[in-house]
Amino acid sequence: MADAIAIYIVNAEELQTDHPDSTAWCQASCFSGQVGKTCLVPDATGKLSKVLVGRPDSLDTWTLAGLPKTLPTGTYRLGSTLSASSATKLYLGWQLGSYSFDRYKLTKTGPLANLEIPDNIDLTYVKAATEATYLVRDLITTPSNNMGPDQLEETARSLADRYDAKIQVIAGGDLVIENYPMIYAVGKASTRAPRLIDLRWGNPDAPKVTLVGKGVCFDSGGLDVKSATGMRLMKKDMGGAAQVLGLAQMIMEIGLPINLRVLVAAVENSIAGNALRPLDILTSRKGTTIEVGNTDAEGRLVLADALWEASSEEPDLIIDCATLTGAARVALGTELPAFFCNHNEITSALLKTGLDLDDPLWNLPLHDAYRTMLDSPVADMNNIASGSYGGSITAALFLQEFIQADIPWIHVDFMAYNLRSLPGRPEGGEAMGMRALFELIKKHIA
């Protein structure tokens, strides 16, 4: 087998000192170590001899992530000497950049450029993070006709099998019997039965973390129907469920010493004669009444019942992930998830961890004064706010009503979808903040 081709990460100075033999070629190729640029250097016979990559200020996860799909097929190695943590990041980026979604393509993606495993990296971590990210992407990108509540259940069941976890599913009319009225109400108009998926794993005596996911497999808006453009991407409205399943897979694969519970509210927000109507009044699992100001604010309804159940066991931490509001995207754009948290130390830790891992999230306030915007003249609360500003905050305040006061809680409101391709992050379904959440649990809870 041919020797692996070395990849060197260089700035202008290193290019001069370490690669003097390549000066003329680099000049002819307009490469001087610019960030984001790559130079393929041939030997005297014209064969590729090495790859030079512009050195960013700090080596982040994405430094080499564009290469698997742009370099000629073959085997490469890291030529530069790097710390174990940088090499781990770069190798992870390479793996994340090697993803393709080709389930529906007759012609599958051919072999890509391959990177030899660098020395001293945390390979277990990279493998777990890669596999979990691929799972999340696959689940979200798969269209709704092949990704309903039943397929989310199937996914959770296969995770339970693989990691010897316990799983219980409450579906259809049983949701009413078992007192999950709002999950039932949102999902009842679909031919695909709504359900609550409940997975448990780990040591019952260890610190308890409960993950809750919004699994709206398609959000038509319900009777308050979305516009065609608003509805187009709504196969991704189960992104929160996908992300908590991915996070759970990472936790179980690595074997974090925690007591894990995952609750996924899996429904389809459909339109039919029996659909939830505007101004219907529901009684929540908690017992409070909710007036449905808008059937398109369905995510908070299904999450409310799941969060109340999560709270009942008083875990050490509750994390919910949800493609909850367009407003969070207006505030932060599609590539930066918003998070809300009722605990200051956890807030700072998650902010920092996200930045450290190139998996950033940004915190928005649980601004109490807006709580009255959710008042209803006829019920205990409305599911939409009276004004149209601050929609991600009022949605978070709605959810907070279903968290028992002193339980630390993180709510992630995110896009779950790359609208554009960036190195290592192809257009399509995406985990966002998952690696940061994993690290937070590992460092602060486990």
Which residues are catalytic, by number? 226, 300
The residue within the footprint of Zn ion, chosen from 296, 320, 358, 439 (CB under 5 A), is: 296
**In the structure encoding, which two tokens stand for residue 327, read together?**
């407003």
Residue type, 183: I
Q: Select the span of 217-225, 242-250, 273-281, 420-428 touching Zn ion (CB under 5 A).
A: 217-225
Is residue 326 a contact point for ligand BES (CB under 6 A)? yes
Q: Select the span of 53-61, 127-135, 142-150, 297-305 touching ligand BES (CB under 6 A).
A: 297-305
Q: Select the span of 25-33, 100-108, 201-209, 299-307 touching Zn ion (CB under 5 A).
A: 299-307
Is residue 325 a contact point for ligand BES (CB under 6 A)? yes
Compute the distance between CA of residue 429 and CA of residue 210 in angstroms, rounded to an integer: 23
Q: Is 375 helix (H, G, I), strand (E, B) or coil?
A: coil
- Among 199, 205, 299, which Cα is nearest to 244's? 199
**In the structure encoding, which two tokens stand for residue 100, read together?**
């393709």
Is residue 219 a contact point for Zn ion (CB under 5 A)? yes
Task: Describe the crossing of helices 123-141 and 84-96 by its angle, rounded to 10 degrees.
Answer: 30
Is residue 268 a contact point for Zn ion (CB under 5 A)? no
Is residue 309 a contact point for Zn ion (CB under 5 A)? no
User: Which of the choices Zn ion, ligand BES, none does residue 426 contact, using the CB cut-off of 5 to 8 A by kind?
Assistant: none
Q: From start to end of 101-165, where are the E strands? A: 114-115
Closest separation in Å from C-beta 268 to ligand BES: 12
Nearer to ligand BES, 270 or 323 (CB): 323
Nearer to ligand BES, 219 or 439 (CB): 219
**In the structure encoding, which two tokens stand for residue 281, read together?**
């009044």
Compute the distance between CA of residue 94 and CA of residue 388 in angstroms, rounded to an integer: 42
Place of tokens 């019942």: 305
- Among 197, 209, 193, 196, which Cα is nearest to 167's? 197
* Measured CA distances, 402 to 118, 183, 266, 390, 395 (Å): 46, 14, 18, 20, 12
Is residue 237 a contact point for Zn ion (CB under 5 A)? yes
Q: Select the span of 31-39, 290-298, 341-349, 363-371 touching Zn ion (CB under 5 A).
A: 290-298
Taking the CA atoms of residue 83, residue 87, residue 90 and residue 92 in that order, the dihedral angle to the nearest 10 degrees is -130
Name residues contacting Zn ion, limited to 49-68 (CB under 5 A). Answer: none
Compute the distance between CA of residue 309 and CA of residue 314 in angstroms, rounded to an integer: 10
The residue within the footprint of Zn ion, chosen from 9, 15, 52, 216 (CB under 5 A), is: 216
The residue within the footprint of ligand BES, chosen from 138, 153, 198, 219 (CB under 6 A), is: 219
- Among 327, 299, 331, 251, which Cα is nearest to 402's? 299
Binding site for Zn ion (CB under 5 A): 216, 219, 237, 296, 298-299
Residues that bind ligand BES (CB under 6 A): 219, 237, 294, 296-299, 323-327, 329, 384, 391, 415
